[in-house]
Amino acid sequence: MSCDAAAAVFLMFASFGPQEALVVRAADPVPAVNTLKDEPLFADIVQRSAKLLGFTNGYRDLLKEDAESLLPEYAMFTNELKQLADLDFKAHQQLEQRGQDLDLKCILRGISADIHLKMGALEEAKDVKAKDKALRELGYLLRDNVEVITAPPAPPV
């Protein structure tokens, strides 16, 4: 209810005389509910991102212990990252087809593209510092992938 409408309602009820005071209370705002995270595609993205974030953090820890070691199950890791990027793009397309949530749609498309960029940076890394940086940035991206899907929707601006 706009401020002008609220004032008009107040004045209308105030004009009835000194009977009981009538209190008009605005409705409490309804909290936003995020049902998207419960849909199978989006739940799968969250689960995969969390799993890959665990691998990413583990690889960073391993680099600290032994800079020359090969990352275990690296081929599986990169394959799953590619699959995740494909799922993010699929989710982007799904939201676009629904005409839904323009911000999330764009974010998912960006994450899909950025996963490939971060994988390229990791492949090109020649020393421990560069590998750690690429893994750290990949970790940020994976964490963001979880958070943008699981966060409650923001109210319209």
pLDDT tens digit sequence for 57-114 = 999 998 888 766 677 788 999 999 999 999 999 999 999 998 876 788 999 999 999 9
101 torsion bin: left (phi>0), alpha (psi -120 to 50), beta (else): left
Task: Give the integer Cα–Cα distance in Å for 37 and 34.
Answer: 6
pTM: 0.74
User: 156 by DSSP, 3-state: which?
Assistant: coil
Task: Give the integer Cα–Cα distance in Å for 110 and 114.
Answer: 6
Task: Give the integer Cα–Cα distance in Å for 94 and 24.
Answer: 43
CB atoms within 10 A of CB 99: 8
